[in-house]
Amino acid sequence: MKKLFLILPIISLLFSSCISEIGPPGPPGQDGINILGQIFEAQVTFDDSNNYEVLIDFPSNIDVYDTDVVIAYILSGHDNGVDIWEPLPQTLFFEDGILLYGFNHTYADIAFFLDGTVYLDELQAQFTDNIIFRVAIIPADSAQGLNLDNLDVVLNSLQNQEIIRLN
């Protein structure tokens, strides 16, 4: 029992904390890097001369990292003056087959292409000429939990970033 009374004060000293005044503030640190997503728009024309594929380099003022999420949208129409954007890939169905608008990318560029079972050289100009695409580049951390199929949601997450228009 005597040993218990001797050990108790030692244990209480170990579990008690010291309280003193707050010391002076440290030196100011460097500002952090604010990594925001970027968005740009490109107008392309698909034809036999480019094999129905157009390669676009990312603008030089946009840094793209391997971990970034790259999403592409196609302007599919207008409703009362409001643009309608559909996420890629986008498939159109015709009586004689299907047409696919697709894309792939690296950290330096993005390629838009047409594919499908229709005869590409017989497509009307509305499906090949002056097609407008928007590309959103979002840091992976910012993309988590976003509905990437909805361009408005993506734009709002980018904190009203300016859309860079190419061509």
pLDDT tens for each residue of 110-131: 999 999 999 999 999 999 999 9
Query: Alpha-carbon distance 128 to 113, whole Å?
Result: 10
pLDDT tens for each residue of 59-82: 888 888 888 889 999 999 999 989
Q: Is the peptide bond before 89 cis (omega within 30 degrees of 0)?
A: yes
Sign of the Cα pseudo-torsion (139, 162, 146, 79, in order) = negative
Closest Cα partner for 90 from 77, 74, 106? 74
pLDDT surpasses 90 at 6? no
- Single-letter amino acid code for the residue at 12: S
Query: Alpha-carbon distance 163 to 43, whole Å?
Result: 13
> The pTM is what?
0.70
Q: Rounded to 5 degrees, what are φ and ψ at 28?
A: -65, 145
pLDDT surpasses 70 at 1? no
Q: b/e for 144-159, b at 16 or more Cβ within 10 A?
A: eebebeebeebbebbe
Domains located in the chain, CATH noted? 38-165 (2.60.40)
pLDDT surpasses 90 at 7? no
pLDDT tens for each residue of 121-167: 999 999 999 999 999 888 876 666 666 666 666 666 666 566 667 66
Comparing 27 with 55, the larger pLDDT belongs to 55
In angstroms, the Cα distances linking 94 to 60, 119, 148 are 39, 11, 27
